[in-house]
Amino acid sequence: MSVADRLAIIAGAGRLPALLRAALDAPPLIAAPEGAELTDGVGPPDLTFRVERLMPFLDALHEHGVGRIVFAGAVQRPRLDPAAFDPRTAAMVPRLLAAMQSGDDATLREVIAIFEDEGFAVVGAADVASDLVPDAGVLSARRPDAGDTADAARAAEIVAALGAVDVGQGAVVAQGLCLAVEALPGTDAMLAGLAALPPMRPDPAGARGLLYKAAKPGQDRRIDLPALGPHTLRAVAAAGLGGIAFEAGGVMLLDRTEAVRIADELDLLLWAR
């Protein structure tokens, strides 16, 4: 790897930055927003940045020989300080604001475009660690039955409709009924809210229902790819559901070995559909 081809991980919260770092042969540069709390295994960031000074940050990446960028982990939308903008970054504000008004997907596309305009190649997490994105197959000991198959198909339709209007990447369906959909608060909040409600399945002895996750239709899969992990399976169990189905090739499964172990321990379905 040449110096100019060095990879930088733009790191946020969660396990993904550490998993990507562990998958690399050459040490990456770690960059994170100011104040971000990174998980163990990532290490202290080499660079921190503020959105208000994005252009000087990109200059610093070039100075460190970075040629490739991967975005990994959850990042909260920052509160911007108008007084903190440098002139070059301020000139980009109208471009970013116009994208933000069109939704998260448009905003992320614009972020990618800014990095590419400055000469960086933006790669996806799956390009760095392809085993994070399972191919089609049932990963758990429990196999899908007819009720699971019908619920997964119904949920896939709902998630496709949500994604088309840039709302969310997940839904819960049980016995053909949509019990919850993912919005801005995210999957964990959706499942926690469902766990706090009384059971809503028409037949208590019937299919327990599934969480379904998929990328949005037309989404640029280099950024904000949906992710699941062991904690998701525990949340699914707490919500009284029977498992998880997700889009094969379109969703990251973090800590796969542990996720499969928990699925089998809790008798949950884990299905890359």
Same-domain pairing of 244 and 202: yes
Same-domain pairing of 122 and 12: yes
Same-domain pairing of 122 and 137: no
Same-domain pairing of 156 and 263: yes
Q: Which of 93, 128, 163 is the last residue of a domain?
A: 128
User: Is the Cα dihedral 250, 251, 254, 259 positive or negative?
Assistant: negative
CATH code of the domain in which 184 resides: 3.40.140.80
Instruction: Please report which confidence band the pLDDT of residue 4 belongs to, taking 50, 70 and 90 as the band edges.
Output: low
Domain hosting residue 23, numbered range: 3-128
Same-domain pairing of 76 and 104: yes
CATH code of the domain in which 124 resides: 3.40.50.20
Classify residue 226 by its DSSP letter: -
Q: What is the pLDDT of residue 1?
A: 44
HSE of 105, CA atoms in CB hemisphere, 13 A: 17
The domain tally of the chain equals 2
Cα–Cα distance for residue pair 138/268, rounded to 1 Å: 11
Rounded to two decimals, what is the model's pTM? 0.86
Same-domain pairing of 56 and 73: yes
Residue 3: pLDDT above 60? no
Same-domain pairing of 141 and 267: yes
Same-domain pairing of 180 and 64: no
Q: What is the pLDDT of residue 79?
A: 80
Cross-strand pairs, 244: 211, 270
Same-domain pairing of 52 and 171: no
Contact 85, 23 (CB under 8 A): no
Q: For 37-82, write each residue's pLDDT tens digit.
A: 888 788 889 999 998 999 999 999 999 999 999 999 887 777 888 8
3-class SS string, 21-60: HHHCCCCCEEEEECCCCCCCCCCCCCEEECHHHHHHHHHH
Say which range, 67-81, 186-200, 255-269, has the weakest mean pLDDT.
Answer: 67-81
Q: Which of 128, 146, 164 is the last residue of a domain?
A: 128
